[in-house]
Amino acid sequence: MRILFLVLAALLFALPSWAQSAAPTAAARLQPFLFLEGDWQGEGWIQLGPSKKSEFVQTETVRRKLGGSILTIEGLGVDKANPQRTIHNAFATIAYDAVSGTYRMRAYRADGAYTDALATLNADGSMTWGFEFPAAGKVRFTIRLNEQGQWHEKGEFSRDGAQWYQNFEMTLRKVSK
C-alpha cells in the first residue's frame, strides 16, 4: 500500500512538468513575430481626418523581454519638416495569451492613453493588429517585410468594418539587430 501511495504521489507531482514540457513556451509562441526584432529607421505619412498628410521620420526599437515571453516595441516619429514636432510616440507589448489562445498587443501613447488589441499572424507572414474607437469606427495596421527586407506598415480606418480607407504608411530599414 505504501509503495502504491509513493508511485501515485510521484505521478501527481510529475504531471505538471510533463504538461509544461509538452506545451510550447511563451517564448516559442512569439517566434513568428521575431522578424520585428531590432532597431529600425525610415519615413512615413499619416492623415487624421480631412487635414493634409503629415510626413514623418520614424524609429522603432523592438526587443524580447522576460526570457523572450514578450516583445516590446518603442516608436518615435518626428515631423519631417520640423524635427522638433513629435508626430507619433508610443510603446507597446506583444504577448501570447494562453487562456484565450490569442496574441495580445497593448499599445501606449505618450499622453498615457492605451489600447488593447488583438495581433494576428497572417498566412503570408504578415501581422495585423487593430482596435475599435467606440461610436467612431475601427483601425487596423498590417506589418510585413517587403522584398527588400524592410518593415512596411499600412494603417487603415473603417466606420463600418466593410469599407477601409488608408490613413497611414511607413517603410523602415533595419539598422541593427
For residue 9, pLDDT over 50 is answered with no
Q: What is the pLDDT of residue 22?
A: 54
Long-range contacts of 27-31 (CB under 8 A, 24+ apart): 27/64, 27/67, 27/68, 27/69, 29/96, 29/103, 30/64, 30/68, 30/69, 30/70, 30/71, 30/94, 30/95, 30/96
Domain 26-176 belongs to what architecture?
Beta Barrel (2.40)
Read off the amino acid at residue 66.
L
Which helix (DSSP H) or strand (DSSP E) does residue 51 occupy?
A: none
What is the full DSSP assignment across 153-165? Answer: EEEEEESSSSS-E
Higher confidence at residue 143 or residue 134? 143
Query: Would you place residue 19 in the very low, low, confident or very high pLDDT band (cuts 50, 70, 90)?
Result: very low
Q: Where are the domains of the chain?
A: 26-176
Q: Model pTM?
A: 0.83
How does strand 54-65 pair with strand 102-109? unpaired
Contact 143, 166 (CB under 8 A): no
Q: What is the pLDDT of residue 143?
A: 97
Q: What is the pLDDT of residue 12?
A: 42
Can you tell me the mean pLDDT for 114-141? 92
For 40-59, write each residue's pLDDT tens digit: 999 999 997 777 889 999 99
- How many CA atoms lie within 13 Å of 157's alpha carbon, on the beta-carbon side? 12
Query: Would you place residue 110 in the very low, low, confident or very high pLDDT band (cuts 50, 70, 90)?
Result: confident
Question: Which residues make beta-bridge pairs with 95?
Answer: 70, 104
Range with the poorest average pLDDT among 31-35, 48-52, 94-98 = 48-52
Range with the poorest average pLDDT among 1-5, 60-64, 83-87, 93-97 = 1-5
